[in-house]
Amino acid sequence: MIHFDTGMHRLGLLVDDAAWLRENLSLLARIPPLLYMSHLSAADDLDFDRCELQRGAFVKAVSGLPATKLSLANSAGVYLGENYLFDMVRPGKATFGINPITGRQNPMLQPASVMAPIIQVKTMKRGAPVGYSSTY
């Protein structure tokens, strides 16, 4: 997998680095990528202008590279339209029923319920550390 940074600015090769890949295709021939991907930074907010800039950058990055599967749409990206779906979508948080779109009614159904009996109740002194990394 090769991840292109089209605007999220967390992980991936910069779009301009794709030119270097095109000049060195023999490297990709040795270990052919199974997927080219990027991640939308503003699909949750339905920021179509920002998403379209990222989509264009992604198309630019993969043009001229050996053909393989493409993935751009995350959970919210699924709602942007067919132009964002490519070969594969990655419905991360939506898989768990989390609302993928900020400020809108959640289109997702709750996928599961977790039920368990309470096995112990403790009274702690104020300020006592509780849990991993003393979170509480």
Say what the pLDDT of residue 47 is. Answer: 86
pTM: 0.78
Residue 129 lies inside a defined structural domain of this protein:
no
**Domains of the chain: total:** 1
CA atoms within a 13 Å half-sphere pointing along the CA-CB vector of 123: 0
Q: Which domain holds residue 28?
A: 2-113
CB 88 within 8 A of CB 35: yes
Q: Which residues on adjacent β-strands are paired with residue 105?
A: none
Burial class (CB in 10 A: 0-12, 13-18, 19+), 121: exposed
Residue 67 lies inside a defined structural domain of this protein:
yes
Per-residue pLDDT of the chain (136 residues; tens, 9 = 90+): 999 999 999 889 999 999 999 999 999 999 999 999 999 999 888 889 999 999 999 999 999 999 999 999 999 999 899 999 999 999 888 888 888 888 888 888 788 888 999 999 999 899 888 887 777 7
Say what the pLDDT of residue 5 is. Answer: 96
Residue 63 lies inside a defined structural domain of this protein:
yes
